[in-house]
């Protein structure tokens, strides 16, 4: 009798443990989803400002085209209007992609243009904190990846770099081809990471920030754990080099496409 009671207690306990585990997974999933939406929300002031600039360009060149009837002025006006509209379309598709949940579909990605498109979203913020971005881009083959996930990865890394710098500094983004890999490195000359924190960096909720900064970003400790997940989904690797007081470099290596893939992509 006693043993029956014990075993039913054990069964109940294991069911409860299972439920707790389930709700914990579910909570973590929802939290990550919320974090993703919050990051998109944070971009809204940047995108609104950028859109305003683009609309000004479109309005001014439309006026110029209407005033000047000669063909060359009109061609120039149309070209400027088209450029501004294309840039606007790129921004909306980037933000919409970021808001979408799920892994996103895998397709051949030109890392250099993906980085450029993502930097547009951060331009205003980086200027505000007087941070220069140095680009060192080598031509690299397309990698197989999810554009929205890779953009999220870059947004997290560049935001961390910006926060580590505070004000005035340099972020260098390098894209290069290595043997069997395409590498992307983000280096900052910010505060650096103490050795004892390095093993904890990619753990969910590890943060040294007391909360969101003046731009409303940072402090949950989910950024790098999300980055790690994205890199795993891309069969990539990440490593960190950091010196306190000097700066940090995150280097990500994606598997280079097979020769046959490169050929078919460039066609």
Ligand X SMILES: Nc1ncnc2c1ncn2[C@@H]1O[C@H](COP(=O)(O)OP(=O)(O)OP(=O)(O)O)[C@@H](O)[C@H]1O
Nearest CB to Mg ion, comparing residues 190 and 223? 223
Contact call for residues 76 and 60 (beta carbons, < 8 A): no
Which of 188, 231, 256, 257: binder of ligand X (CB under 6 A)? 188
Taking the C-alpha atoms of residue 24 and residue 212, their distance in angstroms, rounded to an integer, is 24
**The entry of Mg ion, ligand X, none that residue 193 binds, CB within 5 to 8 Å by partner kind:** ligand X
What secondary structure letter does DSSP report for 178? E
Smallest distance from the beta carbon of 212 to ligand X, in angstroms? 8
Contact call for residues 157 and 201 (beta carbons, < 8 A): no
Regarding 206 and contact with ligand X (CB under 6 A), the answer is yes
Alpha helices in 68-134 (DSSP H): 71-99, 111-128
Candidates 10-18, 73-81, 200-208, 258-266: pick the segment binding ligand X (CB under 6 A).
200-208
Regarding 209 and contact with ligand X (CB under 6 A), the answer is yes
Contact call for residues 143 and 257 (beta carbons, < 8 A): yes
Which of 88, 104, 141, 190: binder of ligand X (CB under 6 A)? 190
CA distances in angstroms from 5 to 12, 32, 115, listed in the order given: 10, 40, 61
Applying the rule CB under 6 A, the residues between 238 and 267 that interact with ligand X are: 248
What is the chain's Cα-based Rg? 23
What secondary structure letter does DSSP report for 213? -
Taking the C-alpha atoms of residue 131 and residue 227, their distance in angstroms, rounded to an integer, is 22
**The entry of ligand X, Mg ion, none that residue 141 binds, CB within 5 to 8 Å by partner kind:** none
Candidates 6-14, 19-27, 146-154, 160-168: pick the segment binding ligand X (CB under 6 A).
160-168
**The entry of Mg ion, ligand X, none that residue 191 binds, CB within 5 to 8 Å by partner kind:** ligand X
Q: How many Cβ atoms from other residues are within 10 Å of residue 6's Cβ?
A: 10
Applying the rule CB under 6 A, the residues between 163 and 182 that interact with ligand X are: 164
Query: What does the binding site for ligand X look like in residue numbers (CB under 6 A)?
Result: 156, 160-161, 164, 188, 190-191, 193, 201, 206-209, 218-225, 248
Query: What does the binding site for Mg ion look like in residue numbers (CB under 5 A)?
Result: 160, 223
């Amino acid at each position: 009798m006693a043993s029956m009671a014990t075993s039913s207690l054990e069964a109940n306990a294991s069911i409860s443990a299972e439920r707790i585990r389930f709700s914990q997974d579910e909570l973590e999933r929802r939290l990550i989803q919320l974090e993703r939406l919050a990051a998109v929300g944070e971009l809204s002031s940047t995108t609104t400002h950028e859109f305003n600039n683009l609309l000004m360009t479109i309005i001014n060149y439309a006026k110029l085209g209407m005033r000047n009837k000669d063909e060359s002025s009109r061609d120039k006006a149309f070209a400027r209007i088209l450029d501004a509209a294309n840039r606007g379309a790129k921004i909306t598709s980037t933000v919409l992609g970021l808001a979408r949940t799920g892994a996103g579909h895998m397709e051949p990605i030109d890392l250099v243009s993906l980085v450029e498109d993502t930097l547009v979203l951060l331009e205003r913020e980086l200027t505000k904190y007087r941070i220069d971005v140095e680009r060192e881009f080598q031509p690299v083959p397309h990698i197989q990846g999810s554009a929205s996930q890779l953009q999220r990865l870059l947004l997290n890394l560049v935001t961390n770099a910006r926060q580590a710098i505070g004000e005035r500094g340099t972020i260098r983004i390098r894209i290069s081809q290595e043997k069997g890999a395409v590498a992307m490195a983000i280096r900052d000359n910010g505060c650096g990471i103490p050795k004892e924190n390095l093993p904890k960096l990619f753990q969910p909720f590890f943060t040294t920030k007391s909360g969101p900064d003046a731009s409303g970003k940072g402090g949950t400790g989910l950024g790098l754990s999300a980055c790690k997940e994205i890199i795993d989904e891309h069969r990539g690797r990440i490593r960190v080099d950091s010196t306190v007081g000097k700066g940090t470099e995150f280097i990500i290596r994606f598997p280079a496409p097979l020769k046959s893939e490169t050929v078919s992509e460039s066609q």
